[in-house]
Amino acid sequence: MNEKIHKFLNSGLLENYLIGATTAKETELVETYISKFPEVENAYNQLQHNLEIVSKYHAVEAPSSVLDKILHTIDNDTPVIQLQPELETKQKPWFKYYSIAASVVAILFACASFIFFSQNVELKKENQIVVEEIFDLRSDIEMNNKKLDNVMAQFKQLNNPETQKYIIKGNNRAKNLKTVAYINPKDKTSMIDVVSLPDLPQEQCYQIWAELNGKMVNLGILDETDRQLKSIPYTENALGLNITIEPKGGNTNASLENSVAEIELNSRE
């Protein structure tokens, strides 16, 4: 790999391009490198794969929708009194017509007042609901931002060249067992991806251990019903990882006679 390609891969442009954080000029540059250099294309494909591993375990439920309507449609069919004056208008005094008109105006005013009063009450209720929806929405946004920060941190850890990947497969007692451990001895971080675990009786569980100086250090219980890329305690100078079948709730000491998977770790620091 020549110095030009190496410098480009360390610039961070490829990661920013993957998450849509590049300018138009940077996007053009990245796409040129991807199409021109196989090394860059392979690195880009690996980045996509790592991002898929992280993101598939973080489902983000959509927040509840804000109200579709704040105001309901107001019925415009206001009742109107139709007047049928007699033909002999000359015989009726004009003040009666003014009285009738005043009555009509009064009725219309009463109807309008009632409508506006009802509308005001309804609007206050709608406003209160909108305020509650806004608070819920803010809470959802804060929660989603925290999840996104966690996803990006895991993505960076997976993409870190110091991170070592270990595929742990089950033995004859648990042939369908498969987990993947990601360990970074430089940053002293560990993550595990539970891919599949064979079913166990309700009174049993899977537990993962780190082998250290002839002792087994508890790293936690593995549960396929809670599948996600999650952090586990980092054990410095660990020689290997071991998965055993233990009583429900876990055990303080590893039952090595019930071991279903184990793997040696690199000693590289």
The domain spanning residue 183 has which CATH number?
Answer: 2.60.40
* Largest distance between two CA atoms of the chain: 121
150 and 180 inside one domain? no
Any domain includes 74: no
170 and 258 inside one domain? yes
Point out the domain boundary residue: 157, 189, 205: 157
Any domain includes 83: no
Position 152 scores a pLDDT of: 74
Phi-psi region of 200 (alpha: psi -120 to 50; beta: other; left: phi over 0): beta
Position 120 scores a pLDDT of: 72
For 180, list phi and psi in degrees, rounded to 5: -130, 125
**Surface-to-core class of residue 192, CB atoms within 10 Å of its CB (0-12 exposed, 13-18 middle, 19+ buried):** buried
Phi-psi region of 213 (alpha: psi -120 to 50; beta: other; left: phi over 0): left
The answer to whether 240 and 164 have CB atoms below 8 angstroms apart is no
Position 244 scores a pLDDT of: 95
- More reliable by pLDDT, 116 or 237: 237
169 and 242 inside one domain? yes
186 and 149 inside one domain? no
Count of domains forming the chain: 3
Q: Is the pLDDT of residue 48 over 50?
A: yes
25 and 48 inside one domain? yes
For 10, list phi and psi in degrees, rounded to 5: -90, 0
151 and 207 inside one domain? no
Angle at 206 between CA 169 and CA 158, to 5 degrees: 55
Q: What is the CA radius of gyration of the chain?
A: 35
- Could you read off the pLDDT of 164-218 as tens digits, one per residue? 999 999 999 898 999 999 999 888 889 988 888 999 999 999 999 999 888 999 9
Model confidence band, residue 22 (pLDDT cutoffs 50, 70, 90)? confident
Any domain includes 26: yes
Burial call 43-65: b when 16+ CB within 10 Å, e when fewer: bbeebeebbebbbeeeeeeeeee
Position 219 scores a pLDDT of: 93
- Could you read off the pLDDT of 49-103 as tens digits, one per residue? 777 776 665 545 544 443 444 444 444 444 544 444 444 444 445 445 556 666 6
Residues present in the chain in total: 269
175 and 246 inside one domain? yes
124 and 175 inside one domain? no
Model confidence band, residue 243 (pLDDT cutoffs 50, 70, 90)? very high
Q: Is the pLDDT of residue 245 over 90?
A: yes
Point out the domain boundary residue: 55, 78, 98: 55
Any domain includes 153: yes
- Structural domain harbouring 47: 3-55
Average pLDDT over residues 108-131: 72
- The average confidence (pLDDT) of the chain is 77
Point out the domain boundary residue: 157, 185, 211: 157
173 and 256 inside one domain? yes
* pTM: predicted TM-score of the whole model, two decimal places: 0.53
Q: Is the pLDDT of residue 247 over 90?
A: yes
108 and 41 inside one domain? no
Q: Residue 6 has what DSSP assignment?
A: H
Kind and range of the H or E element at 155?
Answer: helix 94-159
224 and 145 inside one domain? no
108 and 188 inside one domain? no
d(CA 92, CA 108): 25
